[in-house]
Amino acid sequence: MSSWLSPLPKDRMVKSIITPMKPPVKKMMSMSKLHPFTKQSYIDVGQRDFGKHVTCSTCHLLYTAGEEEDEKEHEKFCRRIKRGVTISKWKTERTLKTFLDTRDRILEIRGDDPSFHVKKLLEIKAVLDDALGFVLEEEFLQRSHFIYVQDHRVVGCVNVERITEAFTLDKSASNMVKMNDKSSVTERGALTASTTSQSAVVGICQIWVHPSFRRRSIATRMVNIVREKSIYGMRIAKHRVAFAQPTRNGLQFAQKYMEPCEVLIY
């Protein structure tokens, strides 16, 4: 199952070479005894957050301060977020909703759309892969994608798939979150759900909103359109919508959006 909304920490081990300089390089080789050919180098220049998980205030990526490869990946991702993905007004675009007060619009892109539409969709995929975790291209293109565009800039995306069943989220304390809780589900383990399935119609695989545009009801608008437009002639009831294994931020949104219904996961 997919995870969505909050950037995930990247756990990678690579071999890097750092030229010694003053202050001296401090090498920390975790698991070096188990993997003698894998070495991870850290630069300790006395920074306060050295070795800690830090969340960037701009791109919201969680990374390890002082870890060379993490720092590089963060810089790369942050530049991509700042640059963003732009979409001009296409003559053949599938516009589902235009908001007259702001001229924002929500459009749908599918994997079998014209090639230049799919090319743009894969640009969006690159952002989602960095923020939410990698998804195979073939799997990604099988989904329906609802894109939120503001001033020709992509600021939100939801991708969905048809499903037939889902499970009710267990309301235990370990599953439920408060609105000001910024920790992630992955730090506390997987969610638990009931063992009895119930009918569901649409599954939300991934949901993402640009960090600079959050708390503006963009995610709510996109999911509303999913319910209205996913199946021709049918408005999907809220209690027939399920979410793939969410991150902490994603679970916060699901809890708030689904009230008073139960949160379904799959």
List, for residues 44-83, the tens digit of each pLDDT value.
Answer: 445 555 567 888 877 777 888 888 888 888 887 777 777 7
pLDDT band, very low/low/confident/very high, at 14 (cuts 50, 70, 90) = very low
The per-residue pLDDT for 181 is: 53
pLDDT of residue 41 exceeding 90: no
In the predicted model, is pLDDT for residue 194 greater than 50? Answer: yes
Give the integer Cα–Cα distance in Å for 241 and 165. 10
Give me the sign of the Cα torsion angle 218, 139, 199, 185. negative
Predicted confidence at residue 266, as pLDDT, reads 93
Residue 243, pLDDT above cutoff 90: yes
More confident residue, 116 or 185: 116
Tally of residues, the chain: 266
pTM, rounded to two decimals:
0.71
Higher pLDDT, 90 or 48: 90
Q: What is the pLDDT of residue 257?
A: 97
User: What mean pLDDT, rounded, does the chain reach?
Assistant: 80
DSSP state of 240: G
Encode pLDDT of 138-148 as tens digits.
999 999 999 99
Q: How many helices (H) and strands (E) does the chain have?
A: 5, 13
| Cβ pair 254, 212 in contact under 8 A | no
Peptide bond into 23 cis (omega under 30): yes
Cα–Cα distance between 221 and 157 in angstroms, integer? 11
pLDDT in tens, 203-234: 999 999 998 899 999 999 999 999 999 999 99
Using 50, 70 and 90 to split pLDDT, how confident is the model at 101? confident
149-180: pLDDT as tens digits: 999 999 999 999 999 999 999 877 556 655 55
* DSSP label of 88: -
Question: How would you write 157-209 as a 3-class SS string?
Answer: EEEEEECCEEEEECCCCCCCCCCCCCCCHHHCCCCCEEEEEEECCEEEEEEEE
